[in-house]
Amino acid sequence: MAYFRKVGGCPRLVGFTKSGEARLIPCGLWSCANCARRQARKWARRAYLHIEQRAEECKTFYFYTLTLGSAYRFNVESGFKALPKLWDGTRKDVQRKVGRFEYLAFVEGQPQRGGMPHFHILMNCEPPCERNKKGLITKHALHDYAVKRGFGYETSLSIVSDKLASFYVSKYASKQHPAIPRSFRRIRCCQTWAKLPIDPTRRLIVRAYLEGIADFIDRVNYVSGVPHEKLYNAYAKAVQELVKQKIDG
């Protein structure tokens, strides 16, 4: 049947709930404006949840911003290409000098600078900069450390609460720019960073790779108990809506 053809873009797929109701499934890509906002909200909730959990242990979290220097001023593409290696070196340096630490790092494509990336990090320790006689990190030391790690001189560090961290992630992670490579990894976090609880009622049954429509509907019928004909009609209606949204969009 023609309306069962695969359609690209967003929403991308049709799935079923365990009760046999058809649902449109978004693509989940950062390059999609709607999905980018959804992803940013998800990570904002994870930032809030993690810092809230660690508050019981009296853990302090910092918001650390790194920029790229003048060497990348006129080449945004090379900036994005260099960023993963720069961050990996910084992460290893912090771990070597401070020990295992927790972090959630994400990229913002700066609209005012042609998409040039800023790198923001939520972390449970201060960067291992030189300290003054009072044991404090000065702005100059903070800048020197960033440059030493291959980033730009412009940098900042501040203490954040769970609500403020959530706001920062939602605000900066959702900023889109065409210069951001499609396959670029926007967010990185440590393995111990809090995960959102899974709601089993929201999990959908989706077509497996190379699974035929008949086999898919038969599988949904087995789980939901809904008659095949009703599932076929619901699937066809959902696909038509999916195509309509793509045309209107």
| Run means of pLDDT, 10 residues per run, the chain, 249 residues | 46 87 85 84 93 87 92 85 94 95 90 81 94 90 95 93 89 77 88 86 84 93 94 91 67
Report whether 5 contacts 207 (CB < 8 A). no
Question: Where among 169, 185, 201 does a domain terminate?
Answer: 185
Q: How far apart are CA 116 and CA 24, in angstroms?
A: 34
Angle between helices 162-173 and 33-55 (to 10 degrees): 160
Report whether 186 contacts 173 (CB < 8 A). yes
Same domain, 66 and 140: yes
Same domain, 113 and 129: yes
Same domain, 98 and 175: yes
- 40: domain CATH number is 3.30.70
Same domain, 62 and 134: yes
Q: How far apart are CA 122 and CA 57, in angstroms?
A: 17
Same domain, 240 and 159: no
pLDDT confidence of residue 246: 60
Same domain, 24 and 38: no
Question: Where among 185, 205, 229 does a domain terminate?
Answer: 185
Residue 105 lies in a domain: yes
CA nearest to 140, candidates 122, 123, 153, 127: 153
Q: Structure pTM?
A: 0.79
Look up tokens 């076929």; give the residue. 232
Q: How many domains does the chain have?
A: 2
Q: Among the residues of the chain, which ranges form H helices?
A: 33-55, 76-98, 139-148, 162-173, 213-224, 228-248
Same domain, 18 and 114: no
Residue 140 lies in a domain: yes
Record the tokens describing residue 59, joined without a space: 């853990």
Same domain, 39 and 68: yes
Full residue range of the structural domain in which residue 229 is found: 2-29+213-248
pLDDT confidence of residue 2: 34
